[in-house]
Amino acid sequence: MKNSARELGAPLRAGVIGIGWAGQAHMEAYQAMDGVELVAIAGMEEEVRAKLGESFGLKRLYGPWQEMIADGELDVISVAVPTFLHAPIAVAALEAGIHVLSEKPMARTAEEALSMAEAARRAGRVLEVAFNHRRRGDVTVLKQAIDAGELGRPYHARAFWMRREGIPSLGSWFTNQEMSGGGPLIDIGVHVLDYALHLLGEPEVHSVSAVTHSELGVRGLGGSDWAARQNVNSAYEVEDLASALIRFDNGASLILETSWAAYRASGDEFGITLYGTDGGAEMRVVDYETDVPVKIFSGEGKELADHELTPVANGNHQAVVETFIAHVRDQGSWAEHDGSIGLKRAVIIDACYASATSGSEVLMDQQGSVK
């Protein structure tokens, strides 16, 4: 395996596979960083690829992602393509000695996610998943409050992301079970699961009990205009609402609820409510607002001490990419960044789907896998 340019002290050479919205966010992040050169992109839409190449001043433009990896001379890549391609691309890149930042979800299944993590460990390279919602300013200040002990010991939470009409294009790869791995639970629910576990301090899961419902998409309802793309003429094969009760080894619990389409208030709404031994908190975001205060509930009787926290600036994909690059530059920490965080989320999502299919609770073992 060749030494990377990072090891030689040269600027890191970055490539992005996937030229949609997420891929372009990664391109912009790399280009904005000192000591990083965006040198290559890959995507099948020829016209979009050409325009992006001109916009970013790139000469290395590829259709098939395999050609970009085979040509070499890359230190890091971002993977921003449909979920069924995450594992094969990440494994191939890691085996070629390239550090990988993958869009969420990590993979369609925990088995695929494990293959990615194992490839990172074998190669001795960094593998991370772009969980950008934990970098929101409201999540950041709420995490600071929890770590400072304002809530005492959090023992229960309800985290959610609900939409009225937000199926990402009926008939697209998103609604094809084989290509996506599932519906809103694995798509937007994984963001909710990530920031909930992050806020709760990464407790180990004891058991999962979940249900899924597919009531609107199968009738051609709930589709969103903003995502009318990438149609593969698929039938609607996934859920449009999921709910799970997750129990943790430390006695805490989490209710996770997510939908692409449901008869409720219009728009997107996500957030979390936490209950602790010394206080509580509530974060509710409607249609991606960035300046809504986080509510903290504390005190009792006539001595209520409720107050609000002002969110700091959002980090978004720029912060995710900067953190990834910082880990790549710190060779001594590579073993700590092997995709384990993303794998943990994938295992829990798998357990939720297994519980919904069986109609019974799923127990986890001490290694965090389904018993």
- pLDDT tier for residue 226 given thresholds of 50, 70 and 90: low
- Here the CATH number for the domain that contains residue 48 is 3.40.50.720
- Give the other-Cβ count within 10 Å of 363's Cβ: 14
Could you list the residue range(s) of the whole structural domain that residue 38 is in?
12-133
Looking at the structure, tell me whether residues 196 and 279 fall in a common domain. Answer: yes
**What distance lies between CA 244 and its chain's CA centroid?**
18
Give the chain's domain count.
Answer: 2
pLDDT at 3: 42
pTM of the model: 0.94
Looking at the structure, tell me whether residues 51 and 176 fall in a common domain. Answer: no
Please check whether residue 353 lies inside any domain of the structure: no
Report pLDDT digits (tens) over 302-354: 888 999 999 999 988 999 999 999 999 999 999 999 999 999 999 999 999 99
**pLDDT exceeds 50 at position 118:** yes
- The residue written with tokens 């790139």 in the block is 58
Looking at the structure, tell me whether residues 259 and 147 fall in a common domain. Answer: yes
φ, ψ at 361 (rounded to 5°): -70, 145
Residue spans of beta strands (DSSP E) within the chain: 12-17, 36-42, 60-62, 76-79, 99-103, 127-130, 154-163, 205-213, 241-248, 253-259, 268-276, 279-286, 294-298, 307-309, 362-363
State the Cα–Cα distance between residues 48 and 350, nearest whole angstrom: 35
203 or 234, which is more confident: 203
Summary mean pLDDT of the chain: 94
Report pLDDT digits (tens) over 122-145: 999 999 999 999 999 999 999 999
**pLDDT exceeds 90 at position 371:** no
- pLDDT tier for residue 368 given thresholds of 50, 70 and 90: low
